[in-house]
Amino acid sequence: MNLILLTPLDLAIAATLVVALALISLRLSLGIEGKLLIAALRTVIQLSLLGLVLKFLFVQSHPLLISALAMFMLFVAGYEVMARQQRRFSGIWGFGVGTLSMFISSFSVTILALTVIIQAEPWYSVQYLIPLLGMMLGNTMSGIAIALDNLTQNAWQRRQEIEARLILGHSWDQAIREIRRNALRSGLIPIINAMAAAGIVSLPGMMTGQILAGTPPMEASKYQILIMLLIAAGTGFGATAAVWIGAKRLFDDRERLRLDRLGKKRA
């Protein structure tokens, strides 16, 4: 099966649908038309630039250049985690908790998959490393952002309950355990729903792309199964690390609740 190449006109037709949606938003006074158009513009620019960068890396295939791109992706994901929280940690911790958690989970799971399961040669091959890492970071980012937002919001709203537990002699871990458990559960719900609906309600993006590119359906489905399982593991490990680090950050060395370490609630 030959790959059908898309022209700028094809993409322009798709873009008109987004513009039409923005006009509907304007007509209904939803107030999201600006954000929608900016997000669409960012998508076009960012993916176009990524295509140019990957084209260059496919030719060069230098480990340092590939590492630089991977770290850039990690830092941007860390920023997006921070930006999507209504009441985030102040200072470097606002950026560091999510970034560190994604580095621990996404990078370790990706390297394991490339070296043990896929066995790409070399393991840092751009063809496998960047797409796989991108999917891991993108999905882990969402899970961690939801989990941290749930943690900080509930810690603020239930601060009197937490402090009462501390007064009764509970440790910081016991005082916030239920909130931490609920935060972790909320971070895992999206990937659980995605796995439960895969192949029945939805046809995942990677499998769709491979089939459109001419890959045999069964091979595409096997790769999609692998990706979904890796994403679930990465999201789980990342959200667990983020929630634990974040919960510990809410208390000082004397196990006192320190909500002053959280910034003001964002609109």
Cα 209 from Cα 205, distance rounded (Å): 6
Domain, as residue range, for 66: 62-261
44 plus 128 within the same structural domain = no
What tens digit of pLDDT does each residue of 149-172 get? 999 999 999 999 999 999 999 999
What tens digit of pLDDT does each residue of 64-111 get? 888 898 999 999 998 888 887 878 888 888 889 989 999 988 889 999
Radius of gyration for the chain, computed over Cα atoms and rounded to the nearest angstrom: 21
* Spatial CB neighbours of 50, under 8 Å, sequence gap ≥ 6: none
- Per-residue pLDDT band at 2 (split at 50, 70, 90): low
Does a structural domain hold residue 266? no
Q: At which of 13, 43, 60 does a domain end?
A: 60
6 plus 123 within the same structural domain = no
Amino acid 181 reads: R
Stretch 130-138: mean pLDDT: 89
Q: At which of 27, 42, 60 does a domain end?
A: 60
Does a structural domain hold residue 85? yes
207 plus 242 within the same structural domain = yes
Name the 3-class secondary structure at 198: strand
Does a structural domain hold residue 17? yes
pLDDT at residue 218, as a whole number = 85
Q: Is the dihedral of CA 72, 74, 80, 82 positive or negative?
A: negative
What tens digit of pLDDT does each residue of 171-184 get? 999 999 999 999 99
Does a structural domain hold residue 181? yes
In the predicted model, is pLDDT for residue 129 greater than 60?
yes
> The pTM is what?
0.80
Look at residues 231, 185, 236, 166 and name the one whose alpha carbon lies nearest to residue 204: 231
148 plus 20 within the same structural domain = no
24 plus 100 within the same structural domain = no
141 plus 166 within the same structural domain = yes
Does a structural domain hold residue 267? no
219 plus 98 within the same structural domain = yes
Q: How many domains does the chain have?
A: 2
228 plus 204 within the same structural domain = yes
Residue 115 host element (H or E): none
168 plus 255 within the same structural domain = yes
